[in-house]
């Protein structure tokens, strides 16, 4: 049975990563947190004191750095590695959140990350979450979901995540950060954050993570059923271009 690509896009702190991880685990698919990759680039630039407008040094940095994911056998989660070192906790800090959207708008950064993400998912059987998976990275993803939630609810969720990692941040500061990031992500010239025309909207304001996961899995099941009905699941990857996403 041919595997598919599941693209989960949307705003920060809507539950994208948690949902995507759970869906990947349920299906036995690979999970790729594309947002973590942009955070890793941000961390690298800050640590090497590279200005965000110094394009030659940024292009060299993109050539020099190595971003990968390693599965933590104890926790069961994929952790981001930057140049062979696990940096999962550092990239989640607030100072990275305050700069990541500025880094993400740089065309060279987006081109490098999109290219790497496409290589990671070329065999399909992946769940990717981010801002432009269904529109730019995998516009032919068979399942596309766009997640949103009220800003204050997102801020409270983010505050709880930061607290777990020992970082105390006022909710108003987080709201300001989210609002800024939403604007930058939605208005950037390169791969802006937007809902793909064939993506299904999921508002997570008043639903649980389990309900979010069930929502996506139901779409996956419906899509696999539709593909099987037309015989696409029996066609090898290298003999037919993957279909565009089905809506249910």
In a domain, 88, yes or no: yes
| Torsion on CA atoms 227, 241, 108, 106, rounded to nearest 10 | -30
For residue 6, count other CB atoms closer than 10 A to its CB.
32
In a domain, 154, yes or no: yes
Whether 122 shows a pLDDT value over 50: the answer reads yes
Q: How would residue 1 be classed by pLDDT, with cut points 50, 70 and 90?
A: low
Name which of 136, 104, 116 is nearest 38 in CA terms: 104
For residue 213, what are the domain limits?
5-218
Mean pLDDT for all residues in the chain: 90
Whether 9 shows a pLDDT value over 60: the answer reads yes
Give the mean pLDDT of 45-53: 98
Q: How would residue 91 be classed by pLDDT, with cut points 50, 70 and 90?
A: very high
How is residue 110 written in tokens? 């987006």
For residue 74, count other CB atoms closer than 10 A to its CB.
6
pLDDT one-digit tens code per residue, 147-169: 999 999 999 999 999 998 899 99
Q: Domain count for the chain, please give it.
A: 1
Burial 198-216 (b: 16+ CB within 10 A, else e): ebbebebeeeeeeebbbbb
In a domain, 53, yes or no: yes
Tell me how far apart the alpha carbons of residues 177 and 171 are, in angstroms, rounded to a whole number. 10
Inter-residue contact 115 to 138 (CB < 8 Å): no
In a domain, 214, yes or no: yes
What's the CATH number where 10 sits?
A: 3.40.50.300
| pLDDT the model gives residue 228 | 87
Q: 3-state DSSP call for residue 207?
A: coil
Q: How would residue 233 be classed by pLDDT, with cut points 50, 70 and 90?
A: low
At residue 79's C-alpha, the angle toward residues 73 and 84, to 5°, is 105
In a domain, 69, yes or no: yes
Gyration radius (Cα) of the chain, Å: 18
Whether 81 shows a pLDDT value over 70: the answer reads yes
| Torsion on CA atoms 18, 21, 26, 30, rounded to nearest 10 | 170
In a domain, 244, yes or no: no
Inter-CA distances, 112 with 66, 67, 69, 106, Å: 11, 11, 16, 10
Whether 246 shows a pLDDT value over 80: the answer reads no
**Sequence-distant (≥ 6) Cβ neighbours of residue 183 within 8 angstroms:** none
Whether 238 shows a pLDDT value over 50: the answer reads no
| pLDDT the model gives residue 66 | 96
Contacts for 53-61: CB closer than 8 Å, 24+ residues apart: 55/106, 55/108, 58/106, 58/108, 58/109, 59/108
Whether 232 shows a pLDDT value over 70: the answer reads no
Q: How would residue 190 be classed by pLDDT, with cut points 50, 70 and 90?
A: confident
Q: How would residue 243 be classed by pLDDT, with cut points 50, 70 and 90?
A: very low
In a domain, 101, yes or no: yes
In a domain, 241, yes or no: no
pLDDT one-digit tens code per residue, 125-137: 999 999 999 999 9
| pLDDT the model gives residue 2 | 77
Q: How would residue 241 be classed by pLDDT, with cut points 50, 70 and 90?
A: very low
Whether 248 shows a pLDDT value over 80: the answer reads no
């Amino acid at each position: 049975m041919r595997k598919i690509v599941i693209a989960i896009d949307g705003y920060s702190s809507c539950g994208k990563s948690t949902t995507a991880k759970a869906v990947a685990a349920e299906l036995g698919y690979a999970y790729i947190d594309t947002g973590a990759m942009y955070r890793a680039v941000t961390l690298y630039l800050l640590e090497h004191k590279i200005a965000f407008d110094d394009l030659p040094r940024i292009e060299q940095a993109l050539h020099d750095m190595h971003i990968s994911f390693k599965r933590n056998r104890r926790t069961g989660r994929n952790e981001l590695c930057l140049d062979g070192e696990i940096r999962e906790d550092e990239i989640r800090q607030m100072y990275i959140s305050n700069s990541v959207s500025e880094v993400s708008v740089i065309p060279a950064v987006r081109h490098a990350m999109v290219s790497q993400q496409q290589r990671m998912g070329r065999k399909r059987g992946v769940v990717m979450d981010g801002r432009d998976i269904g529109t730019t990275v995998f516009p032919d993803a068979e399942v596309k979901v766009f997640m949103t939630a009220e800003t204050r609810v997102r801020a409270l969720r983010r505050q709880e995540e930061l607290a777990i990692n020992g970082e105390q941040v006022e909710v108003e500061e987080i709201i300001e950060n989210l609002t800024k990031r939403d604007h930058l992500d939605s208005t950037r010239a390169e791969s802006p954050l937007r809902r793909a025309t064939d993506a299904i909207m999921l508002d997570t304001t008043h639903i649980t993570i389990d309900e979010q996961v069930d929502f996506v899995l139901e779409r996956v099941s419906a899509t696999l059923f539709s593909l099987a009905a037309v015989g696409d699941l029996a066609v090898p990857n290298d003999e037919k271009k993957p279909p565009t996403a089905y809506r249910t």
